[in-house]
Amino acid sequence: MSLLRKFQDLNNFFYDKNYYELICNGYKIGYVHRKIAKNIIVNVKDLFLLDRKIYFKYTDKTKLNRTVSKIARALVKEKISFEPTGEYFSCRKTVDGKEFFKLDRKLLEFLGIRGYGVHLIAYLKNNNSYKLWVPKRNKEKLVEPSKLDNTVAGGVKAGEGIFSALQREAYEEAGLTRHDLKNVKLVGTINYKWKKTPYTLRRDTLYLFDLEVDKSFKPNCLDGEVQEFRLMDWKKVLHLMQNTNLVKNNCNLVFFNFMMRHGLITHENEKDYEEILML
């Protein structure tokens, strides 16, 4: 599959009659497929439907948390392929905004609520040569086992900001301390709307970081999520992105963004370069 097609698949959501908007405290916070909407409206009395919009009845954070817990239980009861992760994210208007409520990471997809992540690429530069530290995910992981990933990548949990999330993930996944991150650069964001299954939607915002390192740098995974790290030439990474499915799909986006910003990828080595930029 071409890079263009991979990126189109990550932005394959279009709002239509199959989806209802989810409204909390006057803000549109998500999109819910009608099959999921039917289930939660029937089983959760703290919600109501009006003009193809699902509203939370309450604005109080404690009551909203209870409502969301009821939604999760309703999905489990109806056996709608919802398996809680036990990892909680915040529902908020922006990543630094006020938290409306907490919800299980998996529930984000069923309610179409935006999730936030941090992705870091550690790289070694020698003149015009770039090498990237690329981890291979543990083969026992439930999500995308054995796929190639960005150096550090993970979600922003409830109560975290992007920098605290980066510090936590960098330490857990690569053994990096705050000192190791002293020269890290926030370089932008990537957004996508991925209709992952017929009834789920991932609306993700990834905060991107670059970290230039020297030859003495060597990441070391502490939480078991990474099988191994490889220092790979950027051309090898691009080849894998273009010709295989070995790279985790949203990480393809992050790698492409890195290569574009550093002047490595152009219309000469990527046939769909301009079309990808227009996405």
> Would you state the pLDDT for residue 31?
98
Strand stretches in the chain, DSSP E: 19-24, 27-33, 47-50, 53-56, 88-92, 99-104, 114-126, 129-137, 152-155, 185-197, 200-213, 226-233
Count how many residues are written for the chain. 279
Q: Which bin fits 12, alpha (ψ -120 to 50), beta or left (φ > 0)?
A: alpha
Query: Can you give the pLDDT at residue 114?
Result: 98
pLDDT at 127: 86
State how many domains the chain has. 2
Q: What is the mean pLDDT of each run of 10 residues along the chain (279 residues)?
A: 95 95 97 94 95 96 97 86 88 95 95 98 94 94 90 97 97 96 97 93 97 96 91 98 96 98 96 93
Residues 205 and 256 in one domain: yes
Do 264 and 201 share a domain, yes or no?
yes
| Alpha-helical segments (H) within the chain | 3-9, 34-43, 61-77, 105-111, 162-174, 234-243, 249-261, 273-278
Give dist(CA 162, CA 9) in Å, integer: 26
Q: Which tokens belong to 8?
A: 């189109």
214 and 133 within one domain: yes
Do 23 and 35 fall within a single domain?
yes
**Of 113, 134, 167, which marks where a domain is finished?**
113
Side-by-side strand order, sheet with 53-56: 27-33, 19-24, 53-56, 47-50
Q: What is residue 83's predicted lDDT score, i.e. its pLDDT?
A: 81
Q: Which helix (H) or strand (E) holds 176?
A: none
Domain for residue 257, yes or no?
A: yes
Q: Does one domain contain both 124 and 258? A: yes
Rounded CA separation 103/130 (Å): 40
| 246 shares its domain with 163 | yes
Residues 259, 128: one domain?
Answer: yes
Q: Alpha-carbon distance 80 to 1, whole Å?
A: 30
> Is there a single domain that holds both residue 144 and residue 47?
no
Tens of pLDDT along 249-271? Answer: 999 999 999 999 999 999 999 99
> Residue 235: its pLDDT value, please?
97
Angle at 49 between CA 115 and CA 196, to 5 degrees: 35
Residues 55 and 130 reside in one and the same domain: no
Q: What is the pLDDT of residues 22-68, one digit of tens each?
A: 999 999 999 999 999 999 999 999 999 999 999 999 999 999 999 99
Residue 14 lies in a domain: no
CA atoms of 265 and 234, how far apart (whole Å): 10
Strands 53-56, 47-50: parallel, antiparallel or unpaired by DSSP? antiparallel
Residue 273: Cβ within 10 Å count = 17
End-to-end distance of the chain based on CA atoms, in angstroms?
Answer: 17
Domain that holds residue 258: 3-9+115-278
* pLDDT at residue 219, rounded to an integer: 96
Quick one: tokens of 161?
A: 């900001």
**Based on the domain organization, do 121 and 251 belong to the same domain?**
yes
Q: Which two tokens stand for residue 248?
A: 């985790």
Supply the CATH number for residue 39's domain. 3.30.750.160
Closest by CA to 138, choosing from 52, 208, 64, 227, is 227
> Of 113, 141, 156, which residue sits at a domain end?
113
Q: Could you give the CA distance from residue 258 to residue 252 in angstroms, rounded to a whole number?
A: 10
How many angstroms separate the CA atoms of 166 and 207, rounded? 9
Cβ atoms of residues 103 and 89 within 8 Å: yes
Last residue of a domain, one of 81, 113, 145: 113
